[in-house]
Amino acid sequence: MLAQLTAERLILRPLQLSDADQAQRLFPQWEIVKYLNAKVPWPFPADGVLTFYRDVSFPAIERGDEWHWTLRLKNAPDELIGAISLHRGDQINRGFWLSQPWQGKGLMTEAVCATNDFWFDVLGFDVLRAPKAAENIASRRISEKTGMRIVATCESEYVCGRLLTEMWEITADEWHAKRHVLNHCR
Ligand SMILES: CC(C)(COP(=O)(O)OP(=O)(O)OC[C@H]1O[C@@H](n2cnc3c(N)ncnc32)[C@H](O)[C@@H]1OP(=O)(O)O)[C@@H](O)C(=O)NCCC(=O)NCCS
């Protein structure tokens, strides 16, 4: 059973299938999907979140290959405001999105700190890699703020088209050396 995590302002609650309704109301926005992998369908189907959770996320969770949480403010724990997930593998170890009204407040950086601790200290992986579109400034800033480095570039397909991708990486040793001096990782 996956643990609930907390950050300064956030609860990271293990994903439940019943979260699909709330996520479906928030996720299908161009500003949220445009820099996601082109596998995300657009226009987004009315049952897109439910079918993705049921057919992709939960089977991977049950295999022990993925770990998913929904994000909630500590002072409004019934309201889902975004999600973050970790993925076993060599290339794409993390995904995240946050509903627009909550963006730009440092919340996803807090969630990343909590899930980095889980990735390195609970799951025991040696490295975390996250590819992202170079023009996805907000996501890029999260990588910078949490001590990641660019290790490769390539082109890949996003919902909005083909873009330059940067592969960001951080090792367990780097995370352990940096996390205590990062403002967002209390
Ligand atoms: C990426 C995303 C999760 C960021 O969440 P968030 O809670 O707003 O992120 P944070 O506030 O923790 O950090 C974002 C940083 O980017 C900065 N930023 C955001 N937009 C920016 C812009 N257009 N120009 C410059 N800086 C920008 C913010 O100022 C902040 O940096 P700061 O703390 O130094 O001021 C959110 O924008 C999102 O859901 N985007 C759509 C989905 C997505 O792209 N997911 C990632 C795929 S790789």
Give the atom of ligand 1 at the shortest distance from the alpha carbon of 98.
39
Give pLDDT tens digits for 113-152: 999 999 999 999 999 999 999 999 999 999 999 999 999 9
**Got the DSSP string for 114-127?**
HHHHIIIIIS--SE
**Neighbour-count burial of 169, counting CB atoms closer than 10 A to its CB (0-12 exposed, 13-18 middle, 19+ buried):** middle
Over 80: is that where the pLDDT of 4 sits?
yes
What pTM was estimated for this model as a whole?
Answer: 0.98
Specify the pairing of strand 149-158 against strand 94-98.
Answer: unpaired
Residue 40: pLDDT above 80?
yes
**185 — pLDDT class (breaks 50, 70, 90):** confident
CA of 180 to the centre of ligand 1 (A): 22
Q: How far is the CA of 16 from the centre of ligand 1 (A)?
A: 25
Which residue's CA lies nearest to atom 25 of ligand 1?
137
CATH 3.60.110.10: does it fit domain 5-185? no
| Minimum CA distance residue for ligand 1 atom 34 | 141
In the block, tokens 């992202």 appear at 132
* C-alpha of residue 105 to centroid of ligand 1, in Å: 9
Report the C-alpha gap between 143 and 138 in whole angstroms. 9
Q: Is 136 in the pocket of ligand 1 (CB under 6 A)?
A: yes
Q: Would you say the CB of residue 142 lies under 6 angstroms from ligand 1?
A: yes
Radius of gyration of the chain from Cα atoms? 16
**Whose C-alpha lies nearest to ligand 1, atom 33?**
106
List phi, psi (to 5°) of 116.
-60, -45
- Which single residue is written with the structure tokens 């899930």? 115
